[in-house]
Every structure is written in structure tokens, then in C-alpha cells.
Amino acid sequence: MPDILADEFAFLGELVGDQPEAWDLAGLLPVDLLRKLGARGVLCAEVPASFGGLGLSSADNGALSAHVGALDSSLRSIMTSQGIAAFTVQRLGDREQRRRYLADLTGGQLAAVAFSEPEAGSDLSAMQTTITPDGDSVVVSGHKKWITGARYADLLLVLGRFGDDAAFVVVPASAPGVSIEPVPSPMGCRAAGHSDVRLDDVRLPASSVLGGGGQQLQLLFTTALTYGRMSVGWGCVGIIRACLNAATVHARTRQQGGVVLAEHQLVARHLAALLVAEQVATRACEHASRCWDANSAELVVAAVLAKHVAATQAAAAAATAVQVLASAGAQDGHVVARAYRDAKLMEIIEGSTEICELILARHALTVVPEPKC
């Protein structure tokens, strides 16, 4: 393991400790802890050193995300949002925007990324939020839904229509016209600060629009979601590792019928399934990170595949782990109960399971040649 990762793992261990269960029950993360991690560059660790970041490769950031995912999916969700925001600014912003916003994002300010709307979930082309130029200003109006981390955010990266195209605009959460309402009692990732965001005629300098103007909608969301899929995929690897660990420890120690659970073959099969899940998800994410680090043309599909495999494996693994622990894990406050709730949500975000399958099916049709008559 690179020294920098060992240092960050130790720092995270000290800072997080045994608090995730309490955060989950309270539905809240400590903001000062998020700012500390943000100022250290951990929340968007791939930002290059020249912009104040840690400059990690995708593979190393993946290892970091898996580590955080095993500790606490709410915290990893914040990491995903901050990372998407930073990567999107890096990719789509002009030089001044990169300098300014990446310094904010590696300096302790927190960001959330807002695509989804009441009528635009899987289908973002139905989006109704508008970014309207008006002299030296733009005016942003719309309603965004279920925005991870918006409760804690200083900056909101908002996707909206820009004439016939689309754009991302950076909106300070404190700007007049912005209101943020936490989602009451989310099923999982309860401390991730999911919120609805309303933007009522929010007037901002025109320089807040990334890249200065409109671009194709698909390009914008694919750019942002590709980073998000990598991060969620690696986070799911962490969930699976936490489940594998909890189930194995329990099966080694709990006795029923005069032997430890691990000696009952049907329970042993659950442990095998957990190991398979961990290996399969890890390999899919490693492949996607290799594509990312090599700037491969395969990246977009590899990221969808990694997220899809890791999320479905995590949901199945968490259910298996609860089965192995039975009543010992069937209570809020237990790591496998939390994993069960958190993992299910990973099948909804960054392209639901069905949307990933549609993308992968389209890809299958392009890679398998039609038979010659």
C-alpha cells in the first residue's frame, strides 16, 4: 500500500472511530469532521497536487473509497459528491473556475451535485431547471430532489437547461433564493444529508456557469456520472468487505447444534457467496480504475459495469450477512443491518440497476458482430 494511503487510513481510523452507528441513528454527520477531511483533500483525493489535492490515481482513490465505504456509507456518499463536483469542475470549468473552485473543494468547503428532479429521475432529458443568461448574470430556477450532502453543502453544482443545451452552474448554498429541505427518514445512508433543493430565481454572476456556456446534456451527465459510478462501485466493495468480515467473525464463534456456525455447510455456503461477491466486485472496480488511469476509450462502459456489479453484489452480500448473523444482526446499530439498508440504495443511484443493464445491453449489441448470412 502506498505510504499516502496508509497515512489517510490511520487518520480516518482516528477521526471516525466507532461513531458510524451513532451517526446513522442520529441521521447526521459532524460537519467539523467533514470540513477536516475536506481540507486534507480526502473527500476529492484525485484532484491534482497543482490544484491543492492529493493527486491520487483512480486505483488509489478506489482503495480509499472502499476503506471509507466499509466504515460508513454516509461518509463515503459525501466523498462521492465532493469527488463528482471536483472532477466536473476540472473537466468542464475554464482555467479561473478550476483555480477558484478546486481551491475551495480542497480547502474545507463542501459540495453537492444536483441532477434529479421530481419529474426527471432516470430520464434527465425531462429536466426543467433553467439557467437563463441576463446581462452579466444568470438566473437559476428549478427543483432538485434527493441531493446527497446538500444539507451540509457550501456549494451546489446544479445541472440545468441553458437555451437548447445544458450547463452546470455553481450555486452558493447561501445565495438568496436557495432553500434546502432534508429528506425525512431516508431508508439508508441516513447521515448523508440527502435534501430537496429549491432554486427560486437565484441570480449569480455569469462566470458561475462552468465553461461559460451550454453543452450537450449527455456529455455533461456522462462526465459527472462516470466519476460517480467509480466512487459508488468502490464504496460498495467496502460494504461487502464489512459484511464478509462481520459474517465470518460471527460464524467462527457462534455455536449451534454443538458446532460453530461455519461448520454447518449451508452457512459455509453463505461465507463462500460473500467471498465471491468481494472478489467479483473488487475485480470489476479494479478494471474500471485501470481504464480510468490509462485514459482508455473503454472507461465509460467499464465504470457502468463496475458500479452495476458492485452495487448488485453489495445488496446481495448485505442480505446474506444478515442471514448469517440472524437476530444478532437484525437491529439498527449493527453494521450488517446498516449495510443492508445502505446497499439497497446503491442499486438506485448513479444509474439504477435497470438503467445500467440497458447501457450494458446496448454495448453488447455493438461488440458482438452480427452473423454473416
Nearer CB in complex with ligand FAD: 319/348: 348
To the nearest whole angstrom, how small is the minimum distance from the Cβ of residue 116 to ligand FAD? 3
Q: Give CA–CA dist 315/319, Å, rounded.
A: 6
Structural contact between residues 339 and 239, judged by C-beta atoms closer than 8 angstroms = yes
Nearer CB in complex with ligand FAD: 112/251: 112
Site string for ligand FAD, 125-164 (x = CB under 6 A): ---------------------xxx----------------
Site string for ligand FAD, 176-215 (x = CB under 6 A): -------------x----x---------------------
Which of 121, 133, 172, 177 lies at the binding interface for ligand FAD (CB under 6 A)? 121
Site string for ligand FAD, 96-115 (x = CB under 6 A): -----------------xxx
To the nearest whole angstrom, how small is the minimum distance from the Cβ of residue 356 to ligand FAD? 9
Interface with ligand FAD, residue 349, by CB under 6 A: yes
Interface with ligand FAD, residue 65, by CB under 6 A: no
To the nearest whole angstrom, how small is the minimum distance from the Cβ of residue 109 to ligand FAD? 17
Q: Give CA–CA dist 348/238, Å, rounded.
A: 18
Structural contact between residues 160 and 130, judged by C-beta atoms closer than 8 angstroms = yes
Interface with ligand FAD, residue 241, by CB under 6 A: no
- Nearby residues of 35 by Cβ (< 8 Å), 6 or more positions away: 108, 109, 110
Structural contact between residues 13 and 75, judged by C-beta atoms closer than 8 angstroms = no
To the nearest whole angstrom, how small is the minimum distance from the Cβ of residue 220 to ligand FAD? 12
Nearer CB in complex with ligand FAD: 160/214: 160
How many residues bind ligand FAD (CB under 6 A)? The answer is 19
Strand partners, 269: none
Q: Identify the CA nearest to 242 among candidates 172, 184, 322.
A: 322
Which of 116, 223, 313, 320 lies at the binding interface for ligand FAD (CB under 6 A)? 116
To the nearest whole angstrom, how small is the minimum distance from the Cβ of residue 275 to ligand FAD? 27
Which of 215, 248, 323, 352 lies at the binding interface for ligand FAD (CB under 6 A)? 352
Interface with ligand FAD, residue 354, by CB under 6 A: yes
Q: Give CA–CA dist 306/55, Å, rounded.
A: 22
Interface with ligand FAD, residue 355, by CB under 6 A: yes
Interface with ligand FAD, residue 359, by CB under 6 A: no
Nearer CB in complex with ligand FAD: 115/152: 115
Nearer CB in complex with ligand FAD: 242/349: 349
Structural contact between residues 82 and 110, judged by C-beta atoms closer than 8 angstroms = yes
To the nearest whole angstrom, how small is the minimum distance from the Cβ of residue 360 to ligand FAD? 12
Which of 58, 74, 81, 313 lies at the binding interface for ligand FAD (CB under 6 A)? 81
Interface with ligand FAD, residue 345, by CB under 6 A: yes
Which of 2, 25, 107, 122 lies at the binding interface for ligand FAD (CB under 6 A)? 122
- Residues near ligand FAD (CB under 6 A): 81, 113-116, 121-122, 146-148, 189, 194, 345, 348-349, 352, 354-355, 358
